[in-house]
Amino acid sequence: MTALHTSLPPDALAAYVGDQVAAFFPDGGLDRGALATALEDALERIEHCFSHVHLKYYQDDAGRPTYDHLHTDQHAALLCLLAGVLFRSNADPRLAAKVYALNKTLHGLDVFYEVELPPVFYFQHPLGTVLGRARFGNYLAVYQGVTVGADLEGRYPTFGDGVVLFGGSRVIGQASLGDNTWVAPAAIVMDQVFPADSILFGGPVDTQRKVARRHVQRDFFGHGDGSGQGEETAR
């Protein structure tokens, strides 16, 4: 795979993120070495992830995956992964908490550092989005104002591969979404099970389904056979 092209060299990017953390949380004790080490792992994940996002700004003319620290959706994705790497390392747990809080401060995105994001995902201006500890399948696309969370018993949703959550949609509780599912804007899915190739709208007590013709993995990630059947989804 062609190496990731970054707007700042990795060492400069580590310093940049460290400066952001220090500016918002000036309580001292910032371990810049641990941050730089974790950033290397996070950038490896970003390279794999962005190489599968076949949308504008994610690959250059030579087909290399690209990361720009001033592209806020991309930076939000990096901070999510960085916080997770820090959490799973032997670093000071407060550093993971700070990077997580930095993401909420900068981007209004709440993805706790214990949440396991899939290898390939994509954020589209995710302001106001909260992603809880669901089981996420690969090839996930998330827009603004999305909520994925638990019910009162602490049960979280399960997602198949190739799911897009459009703006304002909510998936709560023991919901289960099959592969190639499109959750329409403002749709609410709660404790319901839907098969693959679905367009979901309405809800929560009357969530409706149509069969999807378009294919999430093909349309967002340039991958998959696009074999869904049925109605065209509204975008």
Q: Quick one: tokens of 62?
A: 């030579």
* Per-residue exposure over 55-91, b if at least 16 CB sit within 10 Å of its own CB, e if not: eeebbeeeeebbbebeebbbbbbbbbbbbbbbbeeeb
Domain total for the chain? Answer: 2
- Do 73 and 158 reside in the same domain of the chain? no
- Do 172 and 215 reside in the same domain of the chain? yes
Domain harbouring 202, CATH code: 2.160.10.10
- Do 159 and 70 reside in the same domain of the chain? no
- Do 65 and 32 reside in the same domain of the chain? yes
Q: What's the DSSP call for residue 90?
A: S
Q: Within a domain: residue 61?
A: yes
- Do 48 and 132 reside in the same domain of the chain? no
In a structure prediction context, what are the per-residue pLDDT tens digits for the chain, which is 235 residues long?
358 999 999 999 999 999 999 999 999 889 999 999 999 999 999 999 999 998 889 998 888 999 999 999 999 999 999 999 999 998 889 999 999 999 999 999 999 999 999 999 999 999 999 999 999 999 999 999 999 999 999 999 999 999 999 999 999 999 999 999 999 999 999 999 999 999 999 988 889 999 999 999 999 898 654 443 333 333 2
Cβ pair 42, 100 in contact under 8 A: no
Q: How many angstroms separate the first and last alpha carbons of the chain? A: 31
- Do 33 and 105 reside in the same domain of the chain? yes
Q: Among 73, 93, 111, identify where a domain stops.
A: 111
- Do 190 and 96 reside in the same domain of the chain? no
Q: What are phi and psi of 134, to 5 degrees?
A: -75, 170
Q: Within a domain: residue 116?
A: no
Residue 78, domain extent: 5-111
Q: What are phi and psi of 44, to 5 degrees?
A: -65, -40
Cβ pair 94, 29 in contact under 8 A: yes
Q: Within a domain: residue 30?
A: yes
Using alpha carbons, list the distances in angstroms from residue 85 to 8, 22, 39. 20, 19, 8
Rounded CA-CA distance 233/111 in Å is 27
- Do 81 and 144 reside in the same domain of the chain? no
Q: Among 111, 146, 165, identify where a domain stops.
A: 111
- Do 127 and 160 reside in the same domain of the chain? yes
Q: Among 80, 111, 142, identify where a domain stops.
A: 111
- Do 67 and 107 reside in the same domain of the chain? yes
Q: Quick one: tokens of 184?
A: 């329409």
Q: Within a domain: residue 76?
A: yes
HEC sequence for 64-85: CEEECCCCHHHHHHHHHHHHHH
